[in-house]
């Protein structure tokens, strides 16, 4: 058996999508509590673009290889801590904890605490699009946002994979109303007609904060999940309900607030704003989120209540095209690469 494997690397360590290439690197060896998984497919995430460009602050234990979610089969174990997994098991998982290589590769050695048994109802490609997006959405909605049945929620970047997951989670959890923002009429139609959101707003042509106020009779929304940051800060304060919460998951609109931001609503509405990341969390925190996914979401994948929306599937050696599509901001759902 070869001691090397194919993996996606970046020429010079960082650069544009054209810097991506297929490299040959040492095949990882599972340590205590880890499984070696032969990867069938992996999902792309926006953090991959930032990491590729050298703009993502990696945790100390993170490898240079990109990729945080995958599906595949268990090939072998390191000593100890296998939980209920066996060689040959079909799994999906997160490339978190202490690991030696990311998911853009043929193999990964990863803690069994980050693995989930793959439902037979999901394809390899669908399964690879579950871990990062659904766990992030669950974390934002329940753990940080403390969402309760009968509340309302606004998902920014509504056609992103995390928001698509979160919209389904909120709907299944009894949301009174679900709103979203997106950047095209095609995405608006998708959100309203296919996902069933109460109302979606085009941030390019509409004042979404004012529209939210109008749609809610001035009450605002209980919870806002935001990936944009600075340019949406004022709108979030205006659209939040009294005692509302804003969960900040990204800074696509920058981290420096524009001049003239009025923070008075923060005080008078008693708004709570909390930022969060997942990748830098400790292994036990991530395991708790994995267990939440297994308990609450997995059964709904099996019965068809929840759906993984896959925009396009690329072969491993077309990672350049996959990254370029993700950068276009035109997708509705996951971009997946398969390892032949």
**What CATH number has the domain bearing residue 10?**
3.90.180.10
Which residue segment(s) compose the domain that 260 sits in?
A: 136-275
Sequence-separated (6 or more) residues with CB below 8 Å from residue 235: 208, 209
Helix (H, G, I), strand (E, B) or coil at 316: helix
- Predicted local distance difference test score (pLDDT) of residue 260: 95
Looking only at the bridges linking them, the beta strands covering 199-202 and 177-182 are parallel
Domain count, the chain: 2
Same domain for 12 and 122? yes
Residue 119 dihedral angles phi and psi, to the nearest 5°? -65, 140
Burial pattern 221-246, b for ≥16 Cβ within 10 A else e, equals bbbbbbbbbeebbbbbbbbbbeebbb
- Predicted local distance difference test score (pLDDT) of residue 340: 85
Same domain for 106 and 165? no
Instruction: Give the relative orientation of helices 131-138 and 161-172 as an angle to the nearest 10 degrees.
Output: 50
- Predicted local distance difference test score (pLDDT) of residue 286: 82
Sequential pLDDT tens for the chain (340 residues): 689 999 999 999 899 999 999 999 999 999 999 999 999 999 999 989 989 999 877 766 667 789 999 999 999 999 987 889 999 999 999 987 555 689 999 999 999 999 999 999 999 999 999 999 999 999 999 999 999 999 999 999 999 999 999 999 999 999 999 999 999 999 999 999 999 999 999 999 999 999 999 999 999 999 999 999 999 999 999 999 999 999 999 999 999 999 999 999 999 999 999 998 877 777 788 888 888 888 889 999 999 999 999 999 999 999 999 999 999 999 999 999 999 8
- Predicted local distance difference test score (pLDDT) of residue 294: 87
Same domain for 298 and 187? no
Same domain for 90 and 33? yes
CATH number at residue 204: 3.40.50.720
Boundary residue ending a domain (259, 275, 291): 275
Taking the CA atoms of residue 85, residue 87, residue 91 and residue 95 in that order, the dihedral angle to the nearest 10 degrees is: 90
Same domain for 167 and 106? no
Tokens encoding 292: 């939440």
Same domain for 265 and 144? yes
- Predicted local distance difference test score (pLDDT) of residue 277: 81
Helix (H) or strand (E) holding 201: strand 199-202
Residue 153's DSSP bridge partners are 178, 223
DSSP of 46-93: HHHHHHHTT-S---TT--SS---EEEEEEEEE-SS--TT--TT-EEEE
DSSP single-letter state for residue 28: P
Same domain for 57 and 184? no
- Provide Rg for the chain, Cα atoms: 20
Boundary residue ending a domain (275, 298, 316): 275
Same domain for 172 and 93? no
Sequence-separated (6 or more) residues with CB below 8 Å from residue 60: none
Helix (H, G, I), strand (E, B) or coil at 131: helix
Give Cα separations from 82 to 7, 39, 86, 247, 254 (angstroms). Answer: 25, 18, 8, 34, 42
Boundary residue ending a domain (275, 294, 322): 275
- Predicted local distance difference test score (pLDDT) of residue 170: 97
Same domain for 126 and 13? yes
Same domain for 144 and 117? no
- The conformational region for residue 130 under phi > 0 = left, psi -120 to 50 = alpha, else beta, is alpha
Same domain for 141 and 126? no
Same domain for 299 and 170? no
């Amino acid at each position: 058996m070869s001691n090397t494997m194919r993996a996606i690397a970046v020429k010079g360590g960082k650069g544009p999508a054209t810097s991506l290439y297929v490299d040959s690197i040492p095949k990882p060896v599972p340590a205590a509590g880890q499984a070696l998984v032969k990867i069938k497919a992996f999902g792309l995430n926006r953090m991959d673009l930032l990491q590729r460009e050298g703009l993502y602050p990696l945790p100390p234990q993170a490898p240079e290889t990109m990729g945080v979610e995958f599906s595949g089969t268990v090939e072998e174990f390191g000593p100890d801590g296998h939980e209920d997994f066996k060689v040959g098991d079909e799994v999906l998982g997160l490339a978190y904890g202490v690991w030696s290589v990311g998911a853009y590769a043929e193999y990964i050695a990863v803690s069994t605490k980050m693995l989930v048994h793959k439902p037979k109802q999901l394809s390899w490609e669908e399964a690879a699009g579950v871990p990062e997006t659904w766990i992030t959405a669950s974390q934002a909605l329940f753990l940080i946002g403390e969402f309760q049945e009968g509340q309302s929620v606004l998902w920014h970047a509504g056609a992103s994979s995390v928001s698509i997951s979160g919209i389904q989670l909120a709907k299944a959890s009894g949301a009174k109303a679900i709103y979203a923002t997106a950047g095209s009429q095609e995405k608006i139609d998708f959100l309203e007609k296919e996902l069933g959101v109460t109302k979606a707003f085009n941030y390019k042509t509409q004042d979404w904060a004012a529209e939210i106020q109008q749609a809610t009779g001035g009450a605002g929304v209980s919870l806002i999940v935001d990936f944009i940051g600075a340019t949406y800060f004022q709108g979030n304060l205006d659209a939040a309900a009294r005692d509302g919460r804003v969960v900040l998951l990204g800074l696509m609109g920058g981290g420096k607030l524009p001049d003239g931001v009025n923070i008075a609503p923060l005080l008078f509405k008693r708004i709570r704003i909390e930022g969060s990341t997942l990748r830098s969390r400790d292994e036990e925190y991530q395991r708790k989120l994995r267990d939440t996914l297994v308990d609450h979401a997995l059964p709904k994948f099996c019965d068809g209540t929840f759906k993984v929306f896959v925009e396009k599937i690329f072969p491993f050696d077309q990672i350049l095209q996959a990254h370029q599509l993700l950068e276009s901001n035109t997708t509705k759902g996951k971009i997946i690469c398969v390892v032949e």
